[in-house]
Amino acid sequence: MNATTLQKLVIASGNQGKLKEIQQLLQTSNIEVLLQSQFNIAEAEEPHCTFIENALAKARHASLHTGLPALADDSGICVDALQGLPGVHSARYACALSSDTKSDAANNEKLLQTLQQHTDRNAHYYCVMVLVKYAEDPQPIIAEGIWQGEILTAARGTGGFGYDPLFLDVALGKTGAELPIEIKNHISHRGQALQQLLQKIKVLS
């Protein structure tokens, strides 16, 4: 399988922010991108404590229900002072119950409150992407990306999603929410992971 023979895939995610970024990154690859929601597939459970296990579970789930190659992303923000939290719980960090509605605003507020007594604001976004050719694929293609930064004490910017308004790229002096999507996709954890994934597909062809 290579980037030219891979003509169609389904993205195993219901997160609109992720979908927008992945679609933007794949638009020059000539791969037809379908969304999991187009098949009325419920989102897979993510019970694991590592990003890679959750991504693999999501990819296999989507491929099983569509019969198509599936691309899954699992990502989150890891804060040094919190021993890597929110980590795999990033999307539901502020949820007390599994039935609670996910909210970026609530997650950001909880992170700010949790870090009030900490001077170490170092953090990084992490992303792992998994591509399976079919549900029981024994050789999934795996790629990862890391975006280093710091957590601010107040939100800045109106773009992006997740923790982007709090996440400062120190070198650029801008938050993820202040960066144009073209620049963000070039340097972000998700952009790094997808570019690495596409290179791996080419090497394995």
112-156 tens-digit pLDDT:
999 999 999 999 999 999 999 999 999 999 999 999 999 999 999
Residue 19: inside a domain: yes
CA distance 145 to 200: 14
Residue 3: inside a domain: no
Among residues 73, 74, 137, 169, the one annotated as catalytic is: 74
Domain count, the chain: 1
H helix or E strand, kind and range, residue 169: strand 167-169
Q: In this structure, what token pair is assigned to residue 173?
A: 């002096």
Q: Which amino acid, residue 119? A: T
- What CATH number should be reported for the domain holding residue 151? 3.90.950.10
Q: For strand 32-35 and strand 122-132, is the pairing parallel, antiparallel, or unpaired?
A: unpaired
Residue 1: inside a domain: no
Q: Phi and psi (nearest 5°) for 107?
A: -60, -45
Among 128, 52, 112, CA closest to 79 = 112
In tens, the pLDDT along 38-95 reads 888 888 887 889 999 999 999 999 999 999 999 999 999 999 999 999 999 999 999 8
73 is catalytic: no
Q: In this structure, what token pair is assigned to residue 32?
A: 């037809």
For residue 20, give its domain range.
Answer: 8-204
Residue 101: inside a domain: yes
